[in-house]
Amino acid sequence: MKKHDLIEIALKARELSYSPYSRFAVGAALLCKDGSIYLGANIENASYPLSMCAERNAIYYAHMEGKTKVDFVALAVVGDTEMPISPCGACRQVLSELFPLDAPIYLANLLGDIRETSIEELLPFAFDSSDL
Ligand code: THU
């Protein structure tokens, strides 16, 4: 699958965002080797800290379907930002454990800007299980 197609799917996932508090909708699409794609959108709550980001919803959804790090090919994330969206620190930490370190992550906005990166680039010197 081409990166633009995965970004388009993340854009569709964004429509499922529940973000009445921030009014900032984010969509994510996680591509697996078997061709399956897991969607995520941010889901907020009146108790604000309980809100969950699009990226984490996508990867937790995949996890609950039995998918692990070895199954993932690429992740796309889209938000209405000036520059391609930048994942929050919590999502970087979760992705550093559950997503392949060097797999492509496509960050995009609604203007068509795309930044291709990886979790090792987004979160260098991450805290991980070897630190415990
Ligand atoms: N958010 C995401 O879902 N992903 C990101 O990469 C950045 C932030 C959500 C969290 C919250 O629901 C809203 O965007 C505003 O922070």
Per the CB < 8 A criterion, the answer to whether 59 and 40 are in contact is yes
Whether pTM exceeds 0.95: yes
Given a cut of 90, is residue 104 above it in pLDDT? yes
Mutate to test the pocket of ligand 1, among 22, 47, 86, 117 (most ligand atoms within 8 A of CB): 22
Given a cut of 90, is residue 1 above it in pLDDT? no
Residue ranges and CATH numbers for the domains of the chain are: 3-131 (3.40.140.10)
The CA-atom distances, in angstroms, between 26 and each of 3, 71, 93 are 17, 23, 18
Confidence label for 89 from pLDDT (cuts 50, 70 and 90): very high
**Token code pair at residue 21:** 């508090």
Please give the pLDDT value at position 14. Answer: 98
Given a cut of 90, is residue 121 above it in pLDDT? yes
Computed over every residue of the chain, the mean pLDDT equals 97
What separation in Å is there between the alpha carbon of 132 and the centre of ligand 1?
Answer: 29
- Does residue 18's CB lie within 6 angstroms of at least one atom of ligand 1? no
The stretch 77-90 carries a mean pLDDT of 98
**Token code pair at residue 10:** 């993340």
The CA-atom distances, in angstroms, between 85 and each of 41, 64, 117, 129 are 14, 26, 12, 28
What separation in Å is there between the alpha carbon of 81 and the centre of ligand 1?
Answer: 11
Please give the pLDDT value at position 56. Answer: 98
Given a cut of 90, is residue 68 above it in pLDDT? yes
